[in-house]
Structure 1
Amino acid sequence: MSKSNHIRFIINPTSGPKNSVDVAARIKLLLDKQKYSHDIVYTTHAGHAPELAREAAAKGCAVVVAVGGDGTVNEVARGLLNSDTALGILPKGSGNGLARHLQIPLGLDKAIGVLNKGQVTSIDSGSINGHPFFTTAGIGFDAYISSVFAGNKKRGLQTYVELVMKEVLKYKHLPVKASINGNVIDTDCFVMAFANAAQYGNNAYIAPMADIRDGHLDVCLVRRLDLIKALNLSYCMLTKTLAHSDSAEYFTTQHVEVHTEEPMMFHADGDYLGKSTAFDVQLLPLSLKVQVPT
């Protein structure tokens, strides 16, 4: 397997809406065979994609492509961190946060075109308590919604919005103590988001000014919400104006430590990870190669 011309496609067969498109057939038809050889493998369980990605990188693959949603992209990217193999994305999820940030087309055929004609660049990644993330991680309400969403049979933006509106005013704010750039912030916390990329997915921008290559995390702190502030927060996220509103505060840093008296939920790239009373969040500069549009 030559590094210069081989692509591995890792397909999550359970990801995204079910339709009649045969992804493997479209890959075989549209991938530039003069430029690349390829193989296609399928995940069979959670945690399988990182193994398949690491195996491909060790064999010298030029690109390993995640075919799925944000969870699949996170797993494949984890297997490629600090390697010479680039991540490619064929978006097939409900949010597609990293694909949207990198301006990778959501349509399958056009996304394959990016593999044929795109370029490789390096981006930052982050980690929260040792768990890598590539778009956002967070503690508080967004992690709580991730936990509820994960157990919901219905997917998609409408389901996510319905859950948020149902739960937002019932969620209990918790006190946190955060150390950011040598300053200690002691406050109630509705959500504290650590943004490497600008959005969660579905064009919901939690940190519209975030730059995925600048060597910094954009920390978004929302302290307390009433109904009016919750509606304003939602509107600002969808119009990329949250940074200019009074609903949130922002900090730029490479390292955050957070301590809580009560266990708080946390997530990485929308995947619920559990609860903790201590969080260590770090930025890993230019640690992942990705295939992006020219």
Structure 2
Amino acid sequence: MSQSQTRQKVCFILNPKSGTKSGVDVPALIEQGLDMERWEPCLLLTEYAGHATILARQAAEEGTRLVVAVGGDGTVNEVARGLLNTSTALGILPKGSGNGLARHLKIPLKLPQALELINKATFHHIDSCAINGHPFFCTSGIGFDGLVSSAFAKSVKRGLTSYVQLVIKEFRAYFAQEATVRVNDRELSSEFFVIAFANAAQYGNDAFIAPMADIQDGLLDVCLIRHVGLIQALQLGYGLMTKTIATSSLAEFHTCATVQVQSKEPQHFHADGEYIGQATEFEVKLFPKSLEVVAALA
């Protein structure tokens, strides 16, 4: 069999605005580091929000075996949603500030090593989720989570430091909101600071909202956090960064395939850190093994 017959198509979708400070020449890296005996590459640049989804879907329809998102969590989410329930897999060259899905899938954060993982190409199927019809692959959240994502979307600064500064600023003026959570035939009514939905274990930056979450188990991990004062907020922050939030008395966890939330007042919400908007009613669903990925999972 000739080389041209054995090579499979791989499409790299690059957000030119993501990770611009990394200093890595991605086209040159692909040309020098990609296994050309296995892969036949193409490189596409996104031009506007949502463009990556269109490009990924087109690539899947053309029979491309692998589509690689080159960028941050937003780019990864856009590419992944275009590949849902197709026979085309998602790869990631992480260039964002959080890199939540890449971290969970044990994809190296250094681009040459991430490209080497693509050369080896071990395929796995993972679950995906949607909140009010908006797909997400790592986490979604209502309440303070959503408010911070709204503020971050308006900020010109990126990175962990800017994010922490925003969290501190917004925390001072935020109050827990009254809502009812319906999970596993139970109704839980309270004032909630955060209602988080985790398909993967972390938000990004190794901040673990649900350390026990398994992206292949067909279950959504729901984290409920009620009233939070300054001391409790610091404890929660420590719990996020040390994976100890799962044993904290400040957080309550449930696992399910679907969950509904009804809020008295409109609440901000996000999907994979991208701000969606406000609503008073929410439905979150999990779709088992609906996305194929290249990852370093066991």
TM-score band, normalised by shorter chain: over 0.9
Percent pairwise identity: 55
Write out per-residue CA displacement over residues 162-196 of structure 1, whole angstroms, 9 at most, x where no aligned residue. Answer: 11122213112110011101000111010000000
- In 2, Cα distance between equivalents of 1:126 and 1:168: 27
Match in the other structure for 1:83: 86
Structure 2 residue aligned with 1:36, among 36, 39, 64?
39
C-alpha deviation, 1:247, in angstroms: 1.4
Q: Secondary structure at the match of 1:200?
A: strand
In structure 2, what residue type is equivalent to 1:187? S
- In 2, Cα distance between equivalents of 1:175 and 1:169: 18
C-alpha deviation, 1:111, in angstroms: 0.4
- In 2, Cα distance between equivalents of 1:2 and 1:226: 62
Structure 2 residue aligned with 1:219, among 210, 217, 222?
222
Q: Secondary structure at the match of 2:129?
A: strand
Residues 118 and 293 of structure 1 are in contact (CA less than 8 Å); yes or no, is this contact kept in structure 2? no
- In 1, Cα distance between equivalents of 2:19 and 2:262: 35
1:203 correspondence with 2:206: yes
Structure 2 counterparts to residues 191-270 of structure 1, below 5 A: 191-270=194-273
Deviation above 3 Å: which 4+ runs of structure 1?
1-4
- In 2, Cα distance between equivalents of 1:226 and 1:81: 40
In structure 2, what residue type is equivalent to 1:23? V
Match in the other structure for 1:26: 29
Match in the other structure for 1:124: 127
Structure 2 counterparts to residues 85-100 of structure 1, below 5 A: 85-100=88-103
**Number of positions where the alignment pairs a residue of Structure 1 with one of Structure 2:** 294
1:48 correspondence with 2:51: yes
1:102 correspondence with 2:105: yes
Gaps of 5+ in 1: none
TM-score by length of 2: 0.97
In structure 2, what residue type is equivalent to 1:257? Q
Going from structure 1 to structure 2, the CA distance change for 1:19 and 1:210 (only over 3 Å counts) comes to closer
Q: Secondary structure at the match of 2:158?
A: coil
- In 2, Cα distance between equivalents of 1:293 and 1:37: 22
Residues 193 and 219 of structure 1 are in contact (CA less than 8 Å); yes or no, is this contact kept in structure 2? yes
Write out per-residue CA displacement over residues 128-173 of structure 1, whole angstroms, 9 at most, x where no aligned residue. Answer: 0000000001100011100101111110011111111222131121
C-alpha deviation, 1:4, in angstroms: 6.1
Gaps of 5+ in 2: none
Match in the other structure for 1:180: 183
Residues 200 and 210 of structure 2 are in contact (CA less than 8 Å); yes or no, is this contact kept in structure 1? yes
Match in the other structure for 2:140: 137
In structure 2, what residue type is equivalent to 1:162? Q
In structure 1, what residue type is equivalent to 2:170? E
Q: Which stretch shows the higher mean deviation, 201-210 or 155-164?
A: 155-164
Residues 7 and 37 of structure 2 are in contact (CA less than 8 Å); yes or no, is this contact kept in structure 1? no
- In 1, Cα distance between equivalents of 2:268 and 2:133: 15
Match in the other structure for 1:59: 62
Match in the other structure for 2:174: 171
TM-score by length of 1: 0.98
- In 1, Cα distance between equivalents of 2:234 and 2:133: 33
In structure 2, what residue type is equivalent to 1:142? D
Match in the other structure for 2:150: 147
RMSD over equivalenced CA pairs, Å = 1.3
